[in-house]
Amino acid sequence: MTRQTGRHRTASRLLALALCTVSAGAALAQERRLSPPLLQYPEERIPSYNLYGLPGLIEMPTAEMAPDATFSTTLGHAGNATRGTLSFQVLPRVIGSFRYSLLRDADLSGSRDGDYYDRSFDLRFQLLKEGTYLPALSVGLQDFVGTGIYGGEYVVATKEVAPGLRVTGGLGWGRFGSYQSFGTTGDRPGLVDGRPDSEAIGRGGTANFDRFFRGDVAAFGGISWDVTDHFRAKLEYSSDDYELERTVTSSFEKTSPWNFGIDYRFKNGNQLSLYHAYGTKIGAQLSILTNPRTAPVPGGNESYPYPVKPRNPARLADLGWTTDERRQAGIRRGLEEALDGIGISLQGMTLEGNRATVRIQNRRYQAVPQAVGRTARTMTRALPDSISQFVIVLTEGGLPTSAVALRRGDLEELEFDSAEAIYARAQIVDAVGRTPRPFPDTYPKVDWSFGPYLAYSSFDPDNPLRIDYGVRASASVMLTAGLELAGAVSQRLGGNIADGSDDVNTALPSVRTSAPLYADGSDTTLNRLTLAHFGRPAEDFYSRVTVGYLEAMYAGASAEVLWKPVDSRLGLGAEINYVRRREFDQGFGLQSNTTPSGEIPEVNGHISAYYDLGYGFHTQIDVGRYLAGDEGATLSVHREFDNGWRVGAFATKTNVSAEEFGEGSFDKGITVTIPLNWALGSQTRQASTTTIRPLTRDGGARLNVSDRLYGRVRDNHQPELAKTWGRFWR
């Protein structure tokens, strides 16, 4: 093997940082097959993004916000710093970001070969929206959870003073208060200039509350001018003295506080920026913008549904079919074939004189009400005219979840009215006691897939992005309703995840930091092989029992129960797991739970609460014991859109101290789910989900068991159905 020079090593890491940022920004799943395209934006002004990946000038912030729900990925370089940032417009007046930075030639604790990698989080809140006379006013926290090397706070105002000409001015602390400061706030005995020194370099992950808005204060400002619809020029006066860069590197030089820049905005909203910064350096940045509220194919490209077929009044009293078995078999056959043609499986049916109850599996439609509406339309064409009520039971993997009752006359009357009109007359109830038995020939049912996979490990200090690639075969057999045998086998063709270090200084048993050992164990792996039973023990209750090779690292058994009324925003659940470590080759063998750093407990589990907060926000709290035996809680909050997009964040704090946890201090991260129907325009329920963790450590680690109940059932419940009911007639 040839040895890389320092220059080549730095170049490869820069490339890896770029790939890591772009791939995360596109929400690459750990196993994905498709990259969704970029989007057109709503008719709202798109601000410039600065080198910290937030709306701003060159490095200074503005008071602007992006259009609501904007998801942005920026990759910028200036001086000796390269920064990749993911930002999300959480609310119209709140934006958050995660940043991964490379500081070259840095003599800092934790730097490798002269390169220092840093992870940080930002938040910005807009206090005032821009009006006729008043400017927009925002307050921001930069690098408030991290090492603090980019830490700073600011209050900033922005106002359009002429068409296309915007003026910004603000006050800053920390990084933003280090050049030409004119005062100090929060000074108290024992502190230098009122701001405590950061001791988080090399560890990070803690919020620096005692530093917020303390220390030297300085002013910054600038202007931006929309020269044309595509070009924007920017000028800023920076209040950052870059003391850290000048102290720890020999290659950084600043001769001026004035920075200049120009943006080129493409038609789809993406931006390419060029800068002259610090008086000495040329910089550039690419900003890729996506908005879940819009889609590449507005309205989708699925076929038009069947129209409602009105009944013949002369046949309303014809009940002859109720005693004719051949006719009933023909009714079933006709309805089954028609539904199958539109991506819906008929699993069971009960026919009475004036009511038909069908048991269906929605295979195609991301918006469940669309599947309900198409099923109801098809029933008007296939069922006898005497039937006046339809009951549609929704199932997931053979598990009945809810039942939607509709009057046939309402369908005929309201076909050309709004979806809200039919929703007002529909009944959505629990499926217990209302579910027909499955047809004898429904099971067993086999589903399989084969294709390439891509797995990645990000934010390794030695290499920001490690990738494995290969092919994977997956299969599931639904043996009976609710009883499923499933598994997946992979053949690795190449990659470098195994090159990651498993020698992590931690006081906990090695539950996740041993991942490189599993990646290096074998090229042919059994990813999982499980037998799972899903049940309905009582109304409002769901159950799951899963046994086998549960995930790449652990085998055992997992049991879960969920209480979730069909009309409630609240769900409560409990899960208990018995686990054994798998052999590193991920075959059929098991090994002891003893690791060099401690014993992994055989039993872990959680009590969970789920709540729909409204406005698309969902929250989940899990309290219990984690894989390494530590005990604590995980808080997850995500924003979900009607088209299936989800962007969220989570944080786990256990009884393990920050020192025992190691670098990162506690487990935290970001999750992004992109539904493929949003990208393709055609209907599919498949989605690509990725979890971005600044660091993977052993504290707060949870078993990766598939098909937990809440995610399986909630889309078929009333609160979720109401959100997308507008697609009932689509």
Q: What is the mean pLDDT of residues 619-623?
A: 97
> How far apart, in Å, are the Cα atoms of 117 and each of 79, 120, 220, 463?
15, 10, 27, 10
For residue 357, list its beta bridge partners. Answer: 350, 391
pLDDT the model gives residue 462: 67
Structural domain includes residue 254: yes
Residue 233 sits in a domain whose CATH number is: 2.40.160.40
The mean pLDDT of the chain is: 87
Question: For residue range 233-257, what is the model confidence (pLDDT) as tens digits?
Answer: 999 999 999 988 888 887 788 999 9
What distance in Å separates the CA atoms of residue 606 and residue 631, rounded to the nearest whole number? 10
pLDDT the model gives residue 583: 96
Residues of the domain holding 209: 40-290
Q: Please check whether residue 154 is in contact with residue 127, taking contact to mean a CB–CB distance below 8 angstroms.
A: no
Q: What is the mean pLDDT of residues 28-56?
A: 62
pLDDT class for 37, splitting at 50, 70, 90?
very low
Structural domain includes residue 308: no
Structural domain includes residue 71: yes
What distance in Å separates the CA atoms of residue 533 and residue 544, rounded to the nearest whole number? 6
Beta carbons within 8 Å of 57's beta carbon, 6+ residues apart: 48, 50, 168, 222, 224, 234, 235, 236, 259, 261
Q: Is the dihedral of CA 16, 27, 290, 666 positive or negative?
A: negative
pLDDT the model gives residue 677: 80
Structural domain includes residue 190: yes
Rounded to two decimals, the pTM is 0.87
For tokens 């439609």, the residue is 365
| 195 CB-side CA count, 13 A | 25
Whether pLDDT at 596 is above 60: yes
Structural domain includes residue 436: no
Q: Please check whether residue 377 is in contact with residue 350, taking contact to mean a CB–CB distance below 8 angstroms.
A: no
Task: Say which DSSP state 719 is in.
Answer: H
What distance in Å separates the CA atoms of residue 672 and residue 562, rounded to the nearest whole number? 24
Q: What is the mean pLDDT of residues 491-520?
A: 83
pLDDT class for 686, splitting at 50, 70, 90?
confident
pLDDT the model gives residue 505: 63
Q: Please check whether residue 92 is in contact with residue 112, taking contact to mean a CB–CB distance below 8 angstroms.
A: no
- What amino acid occupies position 681? G
Question: For residue range 295-310, what is the model confidence (pLDDT) as tens digits?
Answer: 766 656 677 888 999 9
Whether pLDDT at 10 is above 60: no
Q: What is the mean pLDDT of residues 377-381?
A: 96
DSSP codes, 640-685 = E-TTS-EEEEEEEEESS-HHHH-TTSSEEEEEEEEEHHHHHSS---
pLDDT the model gives residue 5: 47
Task: Say which DSSP state 496 is in.
Answer: S
End-to-end CA distance of the chain: 60
Structural domain includes residue 581: no
pLDDT class for 35, splitting at 50, 70, 90?
very low
Whether pLDDT at 62 is above 60: yes
Closest CA to 403 of 426, 380, 377: 426
Q: What is the mean pLDDT of residues 573-592?
A: 97
Whether pLDDT at 170 is above 50: yes
Structural domain includes residue 145: yes
Question: For residue range 266-321, what is the model confidence (pLDDT) as tens digits?
Answer: 988 899 999 999 999 999 999 999 988 877 666 566 778 889 999 999 899 888 89
Whether pLDDT at 25 is above 50: no
Q: What is the mean pLDDT of residues 141-165?
A: 91
Whether pLDDT at 114 is above 70: yes
> How far apart, in Å, are the Cα atoms of 548 and each of 484, 491, 515, 586, 706?
12, 20, 20, 13, 12
Structural domain includes residue 250: yes
**Number of structural domains in the chain:** 1
